[in-house]
Amino acid sequence: MCDIYKRGLLSTALKQFGHDSTLWKLQEDNDPKHTSKLAVNWKRNNGVHEIQWSSMSSDLAPIENVWQLLKINLRRKKMESYQSLVSAIKREWKSLPSELAIKLVHSMNNQMSEVIESDGDFILR
């Protein structure tokens, strides 16, 4: 996990913001790999500041809708190897319309209202 942070997160943050780590914050869900002692210590030691995020926040993360759509589309395909799975994921990702991102971001006002109405619990649909 720390190698992913180093190669992906820090290299991208350096390109975008330089060495000033106060210009950005990391948002992650509370998946155990993000909250392990190793990951937490690595982020602390490397100046990564995080947004505190509720463990019941999937309704407030537009990417969760994207993952669900990808899973649905991939279930329809037959993959016979790891490489065919990776290729299928890449094809599906590239085929997502850019309008989807805009639609998901614009849906956040309604999502926020529903989460507030449910006292922070999951939204039932």
* Segments forming the whole domain that contains residue 10: 2-45
- Judge whether 52 lies within some domain: no
The predicted pLDDT at position 55 comes to: 61
Residues 64 and 100 in one domain: yes
Q: What is the 3-state secondary structure (H, E, C) of 29-58?
A: CCCHHHHCHHHHHHHHHCCCCECCCCCCCH
Alpha-carbon distance of 95 to 122, in angstroms, equals 29
- Judge whether 125 lies within some domain: no
- Judge whether 122 lies within some domain: no
Alpha-carbon distance of 65 to 107, in angstroms, equals 11
- Judge whether 40 lies within some domain: yes
Structural domains in the chain (count): 2
The predicted pLDDT at position 2 comes to: 83
Q: What is the pLDDT along the chain (125 residues), one digit of tens a residue?
A: 788 898 888 888 888 888 888 888 888 877 888 889 999 999 999 999 988 766 656 667 788 889 889 999 999 888 899 999 999 999 999 999 989 988 988 888 888 788 777 766 666 65
Alpha-carbon distance of 25 to 81, in angstroms, equals 37
